[in-house]
Every structure is written in structure tokens, then in C-alpha cells.
Amino acid sequence: MKTQRIGTFLVAAALSIFTLTACSNGENNNFENNDNDSTLVIPVEVMDVSRGTISAYYSNTATLEAVEEANIVSKVRGIVQELSVEEGDYVRAGQIIAKIEDDQYRIEAERAKATLDRLFNDYQRNQELFEKELISAEVYENSRFEYESQKSAYELAELNYQHTSIKSPISGVISERFVKIGNMIGIDQDVYRVTDFDPIQAVLFIPEHERSKIRVGQRTELAADAIPNEIFTGRVERISPTIDPTTGTFKVTVYMDQDQDDLRPGMFGRVKIVYDTRENTKMIPKAAIISEDEIQSVFVIKDSLAFRKIIQTGYVNGLNIEVLNGLEDGETVVTTGQGSLTDSTKVNIVRL
């Protein structure tokens, strides 16, 4: 019995020693792992400081308009007999595009011409008699006045007859038709709208504090919502000399360059007026900038370590920003991952 107790104790002791040894080895292994993990490496994306051209611009939205557009109206009353063009057709200035029934106006012009011829003969005869002193000056003057009055009446009748042929006052494209054949139309009633697409203009209303930057002839860029991924160019054509006191803005008219046929009046887009351009200037991606209390900085990589630098920036254009001070050519800045960095943090560089 005593021998059995001693054996049981020895077994229990051996198990305890084994357990303590195992625990001790586990603690040593954990300590070694923690020591290996004490230096963290942060993955970051970087780009080098580059040089290029960058511009400063004023940006605003606008609706495109046609520089020349006219509603063509009838100058006489009558029934529409003929429509020569349709929407989308190109017309020249002076081209006949519609016809009104002209029988009445033709007859009135012919009658006026016949009366004019009779009075002209009377006037010539009376002039001869007056020169021979066979009639009084009063009779001669009355015949002259009647002739000149009838001449005006004939010219008016002839003009009305000519107005039965409706002509386009400008060259352009028919953008809208308002009447149909057989319609009775009155004086000054709209018949067509004609639009000249060359050039297309955009009218901007710019805050007065930007006035010193805007000049006639400055280059412009337009991005139209209806035509994505395409930039259209133009220039500042006119600047209003006055400021609107109710809005504090002044009017600027931009002409888009010719041969940009995709642009149409009524399109909505964003116009940029480029007022300064700097060439061969240092630039970095905007994503690299860290802004805190109006102080801008970046993380620069050197020997796989990140160091923070305060910089001074200039113009912003697209995805890039100009660097005026604080960085040198060839330096590498962090563009992604800088939120996890402090000075001297070790990094793993992932280049774009």
C-alpha cells in the first residue's frame, strides 16, 4: 500500500515538471515573437517630384448660346402656300424659305403701276405746258405731287408683293418651324427660327474680385455634360465694363473655337478661363498633401524611412499641385498611406 502511494506521487511530480517546462518554453517563444514584431513596416504608394506646365484658371458653369439667331416673321398677311426648308436644313442669307399666296398683292402692284404710268404722262405733259407758260404753276405742281404720291404707293404695293416670298435674314440652320402649309398667318407672325452655330458662345457672370485676372483673348476650356471626356477650346471675346450692383458680378462673353461641330446651343457645361500659366515648374499629386491649420506638408521617403516636410504650394490643375518651396527635384513623396506615418517610420514602397 505504501509502495503504491509513492509511485502515484512520482507520476504526479513528473507531470507537473513537464507542464512547467512546456509553459516556460511557450512564454519564451511569445517573447521572441513580440521582439520580432516590434518594428512595423507601413506599405505606401509614392511618386517622384516632377516638372511640367500648370495653369491657374477661373471656373464657372454656363449654358451655350448661338451668337446669331433670328425668328423669321411674315411681313404681310396671307395663306402659307409653300415651305421650302425643314428643321435641320442649312440656309443662306437672302434665301427664299417660304411663300405666301401672292395673287392679291400682285394685282395691287399692277394697278398701282398703271396709275403711276398715267400720272407720269400727265406730269410730263404739264411740265411741257408750264415751260411754254400755257398752264399755271399751281396746275403743274399738283400734277407733280400726284405723280410722286402715286410713285410711293406703287413702291409700297411692290414691296408687299415681294414680301410674299419670305427670306432668311442670316445664314444658319433651321432650328424650328412654327407654321404649316395652308395656315393663315398675320403680320409679324413667326414662321421659322434660324440659328448660326458658328461661333457658339458662353456667357459667364464672374464675381468682381476676379476682375483683375480676366483679359480679352485669354484661352478657355469647356467640358460639356452632353459630351463626356472631351475638352473644347475658346477665348474671351468681350468683358462688360460695368459691375451689376445687385449681384456683384460682371459679364464675360466667351467664343468657342470654330470647327467644334459637336457643340450646340442649349448645352450645359463648365467653362475654365486660364489667366496664368507656369512652365517647367515642380509638381506633385494633390493626394500627397497633408493640410493642418493652414500648414501643408508631405512625407518624403529616404532610405526606406518616411520624414515629414512642410512645403509651400501654388496653382492646382487637375490631379497635380505646384510646389513653390520645400521639395527638390527627384525627391519621392508618399501619395497613399501617409495617414499611418510618423517621422522615421519604416515603409514598404509600392510604386504606381
What are residue 132's phi and psi, to 5 degrees? Answer: -90, 0
Model confidence at 351, pLDDT cuts 50, 70, 90, reads low
Model confidence at 2, pLDDT cuts 50, 70, 90, reads very low
Model confidence at 1, pLDDT cuts 50, 70, 90, reads very low
Q: Which three cell numbers stand for residue 67?
A: 451668337
User: Going from the N-terminus, what domains does the chain have, and what CATH number goes with each?
Assistant: 43-53+279-351 (2.40.420.20), 58-66+196-278 (2.40.30.170), 102-163 (1.10.287.470)
pTM, whole model, 2 decimals? 0.65
- Kindly report whether the peptide bond that precedes residue 199 is cis, defined as omega within 30 degrees of 0: yes
**What percent of the chain is predicted at pLDDT more than 70?**
88
Model confidence at 14, pLDDT cuts 50, 70, 90, reads very low
Q: For position 88, what pLDDT does the model report? A: 93
**DSSP code of residue 135:** S
Q: For position 167, what pLDDT does the model report? A: 96
Model confidence at 288, pLDDT cuts 50, 70, 90, reads very high
Which residue from 305, 319, 246, 340 is spatially nearest to 52, judged by alpha carbons? 319
Give residue-wise pLDDT tens across range 42-93.
Answer: 899 999 999 999 988 899 999 999 999 999 999 999 999 999 999 999 999 9
Contact 63, 267 (CB under 8 A): yes
Contact 232, 263 (CB under 8 A): yes
Q: For position 335, what pLDDT does the model report? A: 93
DSSP 182-208: T-EE-TT-EEEEEEEEEEEEEEEEEEG
Q: Is the pLDDT of residue 217 over 80?
A: yes
**DSSP code of residue 244:** B
Cell 474671351 locates to 236
The span from the CA of 165 to the CA of 167, in Å, is: 6
Q: Which three cell numbers stand for residue 165?
A: 416670298
Q: For position 261, what pLDDT does the model report? A: 81
Write down the mean pLDDT value for the chain. 87
DSSP 45-112: EEEE-EEEEEEEEEEEEEEEEEEEEEEEE-SS-EEEEEE---TT-EE-TT-EEEEE--HHHHHHHHHH
Give residue-wise pLDDT tens across range 149-188.
Answer: 999 999 999 999 999 999 999 999 999 999 999 999 999 9
Model confidence at 352, pLDDT cuts 50, 70, 90, reads low
